[in-house]
Structure formats: C-alpha cells, structure tokens
Amino acid sequence: MYFYERFCQWLGHLKLSRVILLVSVILFVVPLFTHYYLSKYDETGTLSSNPMRHTLEALGDISTMNAADLKLRIEEMLRIKASVSTELRELEAKRGRLQREAAAASAKADSAKAEHARAAAELQRLRVSADQARIAQLEAIRRDSPELAPPLQILPSRPPPILPPIASSSEVHCRMFSCFDHSRCSLTSGFPVYLYDPDVFVPLSGAEVDGFLKTTLKQTLGYNTHITRDPNEACVYLVIVGEAFPFVKTPAPTTDTYKLLLNETAIKSLPYWGGDGRNHVLVNMARRELSVGSGDAFRGASIGRAMIAQSTFTHEQFRPGFDIVMPPALGPPGGDVWADCAPIAPARRKYLLSFQGSQPPPKGIDKDHDKSLIEALQQMVKSAPASDLFHLQFECDPPVEKRAVLPIGDWALCGTDRSRRAVLRDSTFALILAPADRNYVTTALLQARLYEALRSGAIPVILGGDRIRLPFDEVLDWRRATVSVPRARVPELHVLLRALADADLLALRRHARVLWERYLSSVQAGVDALLASLRTRLLIPARPVSPTVGAPAFNDSYSPPRLEPPAVDAEPEETLGPLEAPYPSPAYRRNFSVALLHGYEMWNDWGEPFALYPQLPWDPVVTSEARFMGSAAGFRPVGAGAGGSGREFSEALGGDRPREQFTVVILTYERETVLAAALARLRGLPYLNKVVVVWNGPSSPSSVSSWPESGAPVAVVRAPRNSLNNRFLPYHLIDTEAVLCVDDDAHLRHDEIVFAFRVWREHRDRIVGFPGRYHAWDLNFNNGFLYNSNYSCELSMVLTGAAFVHRYYLWAYWRTLPAAIRDYVDEYMNCEDIAMNFLVSHITRKPPVKVTSRWTFRCPGCPVTLSADETHFHERHKCIQFFSQVMGYTPLLTTQYRADSVLFKTRIPHDKQKCFKFI
C-alpha cells in the first residue's frame, strides 16, 4: 500500500503527455512478457517445447487490438489516477485537521496544567494564610491587651474661658502643672497652634514689628503642620512680639538704663487671652539686641500665665521647664543653608582657639572686673608651644561705643560678619565668654557667637557654661557639640583642648553641624524647633508624615491583562519560604512611646522630631524569652523555637522580630519588554507583598500589551517627571518596612533575594544589597574621593539598583537630605544611589552590608545602559565630591564585611539540608 501511494504521488506530478506515453509502453510491454512466459506452458500446465508459438500468438492479439480499446484503457487509468489523487487530498486535509486539533488540545492541556499549577499555588497560599490567620487569632485571644486602632482626634470646641488673673508675684513660680491648661491639649489632639496675625494685632507697644521678621514668621509658620485657623480648637496661642519695643533711656542710680516699654494692656486684650494668658507663648526673635542690645524684653512686665520664648533671660524671670530659650532670627527665612557651612575636615585648623570681642562696662562698674580672666588667657597663649596658634582679640578696632543696654559683662561682637567668619573658619575652637553678670541665664550676643561658631565649624568652648542655658537645651544635648567648662578651669583650658583626639574633634564638629542645620540655621528651623519642643514637653505625638500619592498609570476601569510568564532560567530546586497572601507591616504602633524611649535619639541622632513615621529602623526588639512568654504575637521562630536548617528554616522567618514581607520598587523608562521580563522573574518569590512600578517615561505604558503574572499585586504609578529621584518617593502604595529597590534589568535569583531579605531584617538601619562599590582617594590630584567600581576587599557603598532599604529612608531622602543634592541628581541624571548611601551613612554612621560574592550584574540582550558610557564614571566622581561639599564631609564608611549564609561551606550530615544550598 505504501508503494502504491508513493507511485500515485509520483504519477500525479507527471504531465499528461508523459502519462499517456508511459501507459502505452506499459500496455505494450506487459502483455508481451506475460504472453512469452505463458507460452512456455501447454494446456496441461507443463512447460511447452515451442515457446515461439505463444509469442507469435501474443503479437497477433496486439496487432488485432484497435485504437478505440486502447483509448478506453487510457481513460480508465486516468480516472483511477484522479480518484486516487482526490482521495489523497482528502486524507491530507483530514491529517491537517487532526494535527490542528492535536495542537489545540495540547495547548489547552498546557493551559490547564498552568491553571492547575496556579490554582495549586494559590490554594497553598490560602492554606498558609489561613494557618497564619488561625495563629493570629489565637495570639489575639491570649494577648493581655487588645489591639488598638489609631486614636480619634480630640479637640476643644470653645475658646479658653475667662479666669481671674494671677498675682504678679506668682508669675515667677509658673510651671507646666500650675500655669498650663492641659485639657486643651489631649494626647490625640495633634497639637493645634493658633497664630495671632501680626497684621491685625499690632501694634502691641506702639511700634510695628520688623517687616522682614513679620513676613518671615508668617511664611514659615504657614508651612508648619500644627498651625490651625480655628482658635476654638487651639492648644497653644502664638503671639509674635518681635521688635515692637521702643527703647526709652531712663536715669538710674548707678548707670543709664533702657526701659523696654511693653504694652501690657494690648497683650492682655488679646481675644483669647482668657484673663490670665494661659497656653499663650510670647515669641521674641528680635535681631535688634545684636545692634543696640535690648536686654530682657519682658523684665518687669506682667504677663500672667503666658510662656516666654526669647534669647535673653535673667535668673529672676526665667522659669525652667516653662519658658523656652530660642535663638534670635539670624539666618535666612528657610531653604538650603549648605553654602554657609565650612567643611568638617581637617580636624585641626590654623588656630587652636580664637575670640573677637570687646566688653564695654557700664557706669559704676570697674572696667577691670574681668581683667584676671583676660590675663589668664593671655598667659595660656604665652606658655603654649609655638605649634599652637591663638587668635584672641579682647579690644575691637575701632572701639565699640559704650552701650549701657548690654547685659553687664557681656561681650560685643567685633568686626564684620565676613571678617569674623574668616577667623572662625581657621579656628579649631571658638571661645565664648558668659556674661560677668551672673543674673543672666543667656543673652542674644552669646547665642549669636554660638550661631557663628557652629556655622563656621569651630567647636564652641563656653567659659562659664555651667550657668548658661543654650537654645532648646531641654531636648538638645549640647555636650556632644560644645565644650562647656566653668571659669575656674581657665588655667587648665589649654590642657583640655590639646587632650581631645582628632576623632573626638570631628565627632563634636559633625554633631554641632547637625544641630545647627536642623534647629538654628534659619528662621523656619528655629520656629519648627520651638513648636516641636513644646509638643515634646506635652508628650503629644507629631503629625503623621504624608506619603506621596502616586498617579496611577492606568485609569480605574482598565487593568492590563495578566499572562503566565514565559519560561525563564530555572530556579534551583530549593524551598525558600511559603507563598503567603500579602499583609502590611504594622504601622503607628509606637505613637506615644517613641518619644518616651527614643526622644533623645529623635532630637540628637538619627531622627527628626517634626513628624511621626509609621515605622522606624530602630524600633526595639523584645527579649528572647518574651517571644515565648507573653509577647509571642507575630513571631514565627524556626522549628517552633528549637531551631533547625533546611525545611525548618524555610518554613519560618525566625529572627528577633515578627514575620513580615517586602515591597519591590522597580524604576523603568519606557522599556516594557525589559519590565515584563523583570516581572516574570518575580513569579513564585516568597515574602513578596507588592510590586510598585515607577513609570518614569513621558508617555503612559501601552494599554494593549499583556503583562506577565508576578504572583503579587502590581501597582504602576506614573512619575510627574523623568527623575532618578523618583526611585525613592515614599509612595502610599508601599505597606511594608522592607523595600527592595531593583533596576528593571537587574537579574537576581530568588534565593539571593530571600537571603538578602533575611540579612536586612538583622540590619534594618543599613542598606543591604548586592553591587558593592567604594570611594577611593584621588592619588593624582589629592582633591577628594573618586567613585570606583573595581573589585576590592573594601567597600563603602551598595548600589540601590539591587538593595534593601527601610521605608523610613524614603522620607528621609526628601526631608533630611539637602535639596542641592537632589537637584544635582536631576541635572546630571545620575548618582541617586550614591546620594542614598551618603544619607544612610550620615544618619547611622555605619557602612552598608553586602550579601553574596556577586560584585556586579549583567543583562544579556538588554539595550546599552547608561553605565556603559565613559562619561558616566566621570559624573559619579563629581557627584561624590559635590555631595561631600554640601554635607561638609564624606559620610561614607568603609567595611571589609560581607554576609554569607549560615552553614556556608560547612559539612553537615546527609540527612540535613543547608540554610541556602546555593549561597
């Protein structure tokens, strides 16, 4: 049958004429040979003795065949051929249909298998989530205290009632418990503050408030989240007094004095004064004190139960824990102040100690009352070695005019701001002398010297600091930024200054710069610090920080279809963790405790006290036994607490913290194919909560393309503009503390990601990731550090193209990092990863953590990236140098540490499994 089919196929390809000729030959030759062989046998079946006779008979039959019979036979053969061809075509069509049906059935079977695998994975995810929900239910039942929801805001609805004023003699005894109405400031109030409009409530004393100061204060307070326009709900009422005090010269028995006329009637007539001024804060940020000297603006005035916030106080009037020492308005209204700062290094400068000032004593006071102090300082200069240079100037040139309004023994400023700054920039220490009049707690001139020293990077040395109050000292630790010694230590001052090591000098100078930038550098910084210190005193949490609401790339009625991801490189056969349903990290659980436990750190170290964050990298951990005795909520210890490796290790996160997940943030620029591959690689990744795609392109992503299924919710937000800074926007879609920043072309295996996530959980305040880099000193020109990507045994940066960071640093990138750095990133479209490393190292003073031995990443088949350009590295050199200039120093720290998994290269029994088999 096979040969017949092949013959028919061959026959069908021949032309008709050739077919006719072939058939004719066959019809002629076949009968001839048949007759020949048959003629050899006779009628009995035996071989004939005369075969020629049969041949001749056959030839006679052929000769007698007519043309009509031959034609009929040919036609018959053609009909047979046509029938066979038709049958063959029908069979071929049927075979094609069967093949198509088989392919469709195979595709349907593959789809059914994929759907079954997806359903099985989802079922497993639901089972794990159900198990976790049951455990959480049991934990909630066993918990001693209920789970609290965010508290409702409780605000007053009426203005302060009018109460009788207190006696003037009782005002000096005011404290928070006796002169403040706490009922208007509930713990959940949010600390609303009402500002008396200086354009309406003027003049308070017959003179206008300084126009610059008034405009600046109104503008800066308008940015503060605590300001309210409703006086009925206010907790605190601010009154800007400023420079509204006219000076009147009055004779005194011993000297001429200047009486500052405070219009008490105008102040007590304020609409919400309430009879006694409780919960009112009188703010005096006058700059006039630096030129003519105003002394204590409220000395001798009756202000009831109102607080005072100013820069000059006497012991008789200052009420500790009630009044607030704040700096005068010396800096700009707000904004970046990095250009005014001197670099932190080198540790030791030209002058060991400097001072520029003059002391014009008032009448009746011996002009040599501080002569012994000056002589002791001059003697210190003479006895010091020649290598220690001093710049001590106790007389101004030209001499300062005698001003009786200065606090007794206070030192006036010499020269211009530029000349003083030039000397201070060359000084390791700046001498600040407390007023000889011990009645003064602080003066505006003393704080002006403090401001200038901190701005220039000279470490303040305060002689008489044991009786001086510095700005916001109830929350700021000035011991870490200044050297405060009593006047009796003058003979030992040189020994003390020389005993400080370089590391101590740099630490003092760095912390002094941090305090100056956050709380003193501008009018806005001073006002924000004033309100934050009042709120901290009342134990009221700050307002929650506002996340960035990302604009969705697709409208609400459209969602890109999800497809099963294409085949990718097979993951190692390793169990990495359960596939759970997404759940967010618990937020705002420490609203009222963060200020109690970490209030000092918030003001002085890593944090900033002006906002409340949902989580912090420094949230405390419970003790080991507490995880099993009374505080087990959320914990999933390895092997239920018995430990283990392999299966036991992969079933639970373990560690010292409760279970959690992470969010992947992918920054992409109109590369849908590369993005689709990145999403496909995330399929089946354990502990994945959500994928946030930051679409950085000018046009929206295509609404017709299908995106691969990543196994977790995918949110696509469209950035307002093309900026690399968008990688670190604190989007409201991020619900976890752990954030994995990934480039769209970075290839990471699942075991690497899970391992890095586990390492990050133990180093939450650091950057934990894969590509390591370091800053190398420029040996050729000695003009700073250079960016280096060569292989090295030391590193100081982990690039955020593949790294875990805490969610808090996304806010810190926009609130703490100087705006000049972000602008530089936008200008050159580069170095956002270096900026994040600068920020984290600046806050924590710790290096990053690199995981695995991989040094860099490659993307076969991806288009040429930005980093392939030679100018890319030159720009990164400039980035490090510019960032160091802005921050005053290079905060990056080097490390020789790299994290590898437990049991790495460790021989274990055959029935056990390593924590990570391939790392």
Residues labelled catalytic = 833
Q: Which of 405, 179, 167, 394 is nearest to 302 (CA)?
A: 167
Q: Which residues contact 485 (CB under 8 A, 6 or more apart)?
A: 461, 462, 463, 465, 466, 493, 496
Q: Which of 666, 709, 707, 658 is nearest to 687 (CA)?
A: 658
Q: Which of 523, 244, 486 is nearest to 373 (CA)?
A: 486
The residues pairing with 247 across neighbouring beta strands, listed in sequence order, are 260
Question: Could you give the CA distance from residue 727 to residue 835 in angstroms, rounded to a whole number?
Answer: 12
Question: Could you give the CA distance from residue 581 to residue 130 in angstroms, rounded to a whole number?
Answer: 9
Question: Could you give the CA distance from residue 12 to residue 480 in angstroms, rounded to a whole number?
Answer: 102
Contact 684, 574 (CB under 8 A): no
Residue given tokens 């959980």 in the structure block: 761
Question: Could you give the CA distance from residue 880 to residue 270 in angstroms, rounded to a whole number?
Answer: 54
Contact 734, 804 (CB under 8 A): no
**CA-to-CA separations, 734 to 113, 360, 587, in angstroms, rounded:** 33, 61, 12
**CA-to-CA separations, 880 to 398, 715, 888, in angstroms, rounded:** 44, 33, 12
The residues pairing with 357 across neighbouring beta strands, listed in sequence order, are 413
Question: Could you give the CA distance from residue 192 to residue 908 in angstroms, rounded to a whole number?
Answer: 62
Contact 676, 708 (CB under 8 A): yes
Question: Could you give the CA distance from residue 181 to residue 328 in angstroms, rounded to a whole number?
Answer: 28
The residues pairing with 309 across neighbouring beta strands, listed in sequence order, are 283, 324
Judged by phi (left if over 0) then psi (alpha if -120 to 50, else beta), residue 654 lies in: left
Measured in Å, how far apart are the chain's first and last C-alpha atoms? 63
Question: Could you give the CA distance from residue 378 to residue 430 in angstroms, rounded to a whole number?
Answer: 15
Question: Could you give the CA distance from residue 625 to residue 849 in angstroms, rounded to a whole number?
Answer: 28
CB atoms near residue 259 (< 10 Å): 16
CB atoms near residue 228 (< 10 Å): 17
Q: Please list, residue by residue across 572-594, b when 16 or more beta carbons sit within 10 angstroms of its beta carbon and e when fewer do.
A: eebebbbbbebbebbbbebbeeb
Residue given tokens 């860099």 in the structure block: 856
Pairing of strands 236-240, 280-283: parallel
Three-state secondary structure of 149-217: CCCCCCCCCCCCCCCCCCCHHHHCCCCHHHHCCHHHCCCCCCCCEEECCCCCCCCCCCCCCCHHHHHHH
Give the strands of the sheet with 662-668, arranged side by side: 551-552, 714-718, 688-695, 662-668, 738-743, 802-806, 768-769, 849-851, 898-899
Amino acid at 713: P
Q: ∠ at Cα 834 (828, 835), nearest 5°?
A: 80
